[in-house]
Amino acid sequence: MSLVKDKSGLYHYAHHSVDTLWVAGSMLAGVTPTTGAGTFPAANLIIYCPVRVTKATRVKKLWIAAQNTAGAPDTLVLGVYGRGGTKLFDSGNITHPATSDEIVANVTNAILPPSLYYLAVTQNATAGTFQRFAPGAPIPAAMGLRTEAGAGGLPATATWVVDNTLNFVPIMGMLLGETVT
Interaction pattern, residues 63-102, with other proteins; x per rule: CB under 8 A: --------------------x-------------------
Is 144 a residue that touches other proteins (CB under 8 A)?
yes
Is 5 a residue that touches other proteins (CB under 8 A)?
yes
Residues 97-136 binding other proteins (CB under 8 A) are: 114-116, 135-136
Give the Å distances, CA to CA, from 46 to 28, 112, 145, 178. 20, 22, 10, 27
The 10 Å CB-count burial string (b at 16+, else e) for 120-148 is bbbbbbbbbbbbbbbbeeebbbebbbbbb
Is 15 a residue that touches other proteins (CB under 8 A)?
no
Distance from C-alpha of 135 to C-alpha of 122, rounded to nearest angstrom: 19
Binding site for other proteins (CB under 8 A): 1-5, 7-9, 11, 23-34, 50, 52-55, 83, 114-116, 135-139, 141-144, 146, 160-162, 164
